[in-house]
């Protein structure tokens, strides 16, 4: 089973850059997309169900903002859109699809980089999401949460860590939170578990020549429950084409869908 997570920074823009063709050739069984920046009415058939896949999505109320989607070769048995928290559901940040004992979630965690107000929104999200992560973990299901978590956990996860110690995405409180998600709740960071010493950057600032110089951040994760994580066999960050300021994170699991 191949699962891809990709922040497309606008699905219409990504499609113009070849993302639709990439999906056809990717061999993906499930694709989690973040930052649609589109309303449902803006999504054409190829964006709702690319190449015959089943699609579910959760768009933000605000036009041209946020939004997540999930595509799958197999039709889900059950779908949940939203977290049940009005403040965050208005921004289209969570969609879950269940396939038998497997649950896959496409997540777009708020960024706090634009203002102190947005940083406080991010902190509120972390506070609300933590007990949800605990509840998910104790369900006994195989679960993977794919998406843009907007937090680099460790120094290895961003090139210029010394210069970002006071910046959103690498704040001590954020790093401590994601550390607890792993150490206390038992979620497994697939990339870092498979490749302990490989940075695995998935996002690059559009300022300067960050992408060309590979001055990146690893903020896109596939976080899985332990039993599913044990079946992760390999992963890669797809950089042969550039669809947005993020690159797709691809993980292969020895798991029948």
Annotated binding site: 7, 35, 148, 150, 245-246
Annotated binding site for Mg(2+): 7, 35, 148, 150, 245-246
CA-wise closest residue to 253 among 197, 210, 190, 204: 190
The C-alpha torsion from 159 through 182 and 5 to 200, rounded to 10°, is 30
Strands (E), 137-239: 142-148, 188-189, 203-204, 216-217, 220-224, 232-237
- CA dist 92 → 30, 38, 108 (Å): 19, 10, 8
At 12, list the tokens: 């219409």
- CA dist 53 → 31, 40, 76, 83, 184 (Å): 9, 17, 11, 24, 36
- CA dist 121 → 26, 83, 218 (Å): 35, 15, 21
Strands (E), 100-151: 102-108, 142-148
Q: Is 54 a catalytic residue?
A: no
Burial environment of residue 217 by CB neighbours within 10 A (0 to 12, 13 to 18, 19 or more): buried
8 A C-beta contact, residue 132 and residue 124: no
At 123, list the tokens: 């902190």
Write down the catalytic residue from 15, 22, 71, 108.
Answer: 108
At 70, list the tokens: 């999930």
Write down the catalytic residue from 29, 220, 246, 253.
Answer: 246
Write down the catalytic residue from 15, 29, 71, 148.
Answer: 148
Handedness of CA 84, 90, 92, 93 (dihedral sign): negative
Q: Is 214 a catalytic residue?
A: no
Q: Which residues are catalytic?
A: 108, 148, 246
């Amino acid at each position: 089973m191949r699962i891809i997570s990709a922040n497309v920074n606008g699905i219409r823009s990504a499609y113009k850059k070849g993302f639709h063709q990439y999906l056809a050739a990717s061999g993906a069984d499930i694709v989690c997309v973040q930052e649609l920046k589109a309303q449902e009415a803006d999504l054409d058939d190829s964006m709702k169900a690319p190449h015959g896949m089943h699609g579910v999505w959760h768009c933000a109320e605000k036009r041209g903002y946020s939004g997540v989607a999930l595509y799958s070769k197999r039709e889900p048995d059950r779908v949940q859109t939203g977290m049940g928290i009005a403040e965050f559901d208005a921004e289209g940040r969570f969609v879950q699809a269940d396939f038998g004992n497997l649950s896959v979630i496409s997540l777009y965690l708020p960024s706090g980089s634009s203002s102190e107000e947005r940083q406080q929104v991010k902190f509120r999200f972390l506070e609300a999401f933590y007990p949800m992560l605990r509840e998910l973990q104790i369900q006994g299901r195989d679960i993977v949460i794919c998406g843009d978590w907007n937090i680099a956990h460790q120094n290895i996860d961003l090139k210029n860590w010394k210069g970002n110690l006071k910046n959103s995405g690498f704040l001590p409180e954020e790093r401590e939170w994601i550390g607890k998600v792993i150490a206390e709740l038992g979620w497994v960071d697939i990339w870092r578990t498979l490749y302990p010493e490989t940075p695995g950057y998935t996002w690059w600032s559009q300022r300067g020549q960050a992408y060309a110089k590979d001055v990146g951040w690893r903020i896109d994760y596939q976080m899985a429950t332990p039993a599913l994580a044990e079946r992760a066999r390999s992963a890669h960050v797809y950089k042969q084409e550039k669809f947005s300021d993020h690159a797709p994170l691809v993980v292969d699991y020895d798991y029948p869908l």
